[in-house]
Amino acid sequence: MPFKQAPFDPQRARQLHAQLVEQLMGDGLLDDPELARAFQIVPRHLFLPDHTLEQIYSDQALAVKRKAGAWVSSSSQPGMMAIMLAQLGLQPGHRVLEIGTGTGYNAALIAAIVGATGRVVSVDLEADLIKAARVHLDQAGYPEVDLRHADGALGAPDAAPFDRIIVTAGAWDLVPAWRTQLVPGGRIVVPMTIFPSLMLSLAFEQRGSVWEALSAHPCGFVLLRGSEAHPGRDWTSPRLVLHPRDERTTAIRSSATIEKEWSQIVVVWDEPHSPLSTSNP
């Protein structure tokens, strides 16, 4: 017998919504008042009509679309959304590009923060997700969000430049289009694969010829697809070189250098809050 979802209970939805926001606040993830307000006013259940309220208002990621035997879209864990939006450093009036629309929930949170003077453009590779997200955003009161069925690796050149770019799929590198469509001094937040099984949400700003990460948080995302998808080759055997402390001839910084097809990533541990850098390809 097919699953029959219980009738929608608006009072229960409000209660669970408030509990989730309280939990995120207790975890220290909503210290920014504008970010907290966005989570308070945007109801997640409008974006996930096929899930139960208990699932929707728990701090967990929820699968949205499966294709060719693999999940290609999910609604991210609310706690991770809060972390990435805090990394993004949104302000009213910002022009924002989102790569990976999904359900549209994250775009609604962004729109709630940037306000009427800002602009949100969100692109997704799946046409049916864009269509559904349009319905969700309209119902939630954010018809101004500009949704596009397109390859996110190309960005949205006709709407550029952007003050902020956020990627909600696991990337392999900083795609050139994202960098060129960002204003000077702008910021890109992207989940990036560093090593196999290690993905970090990185908030990049350009410093001279390199892009430095202001913060890094472990995360897990469905991988970016399209023209800049992860390489098809096997990438499971990185080569590591250890220079023992007692064999050093000079004082050098403790770091890891990861050579990729386009960029070089340098991870530094020598002092608190050291940035992670990736050189310009």
Residues designated catalytic:
73
What is the C-alpha separation between 240 and 67, in angstroms, rounded?
Answer: 35
Q: What is the CA radius of gyration of the chain?
A: 20
Are 73 and 169 in contact by the 8 Å Cβ rule? The answer is no
Angle at alpha carbon of residue 13, lines to 31 and 168, rounded to 5°: 50
DSSP letter assigned to residue 17: H
Beta bridge partners of 277: 212, 266
What is the C-alpha separation between 125 and 176, in angstroms, rounded?
Answer: 18
How many CA within 13 A on the CB side of residue 96?
33
Number of helices (H), then strands (E), belonging to the chain: the values are 7, 12
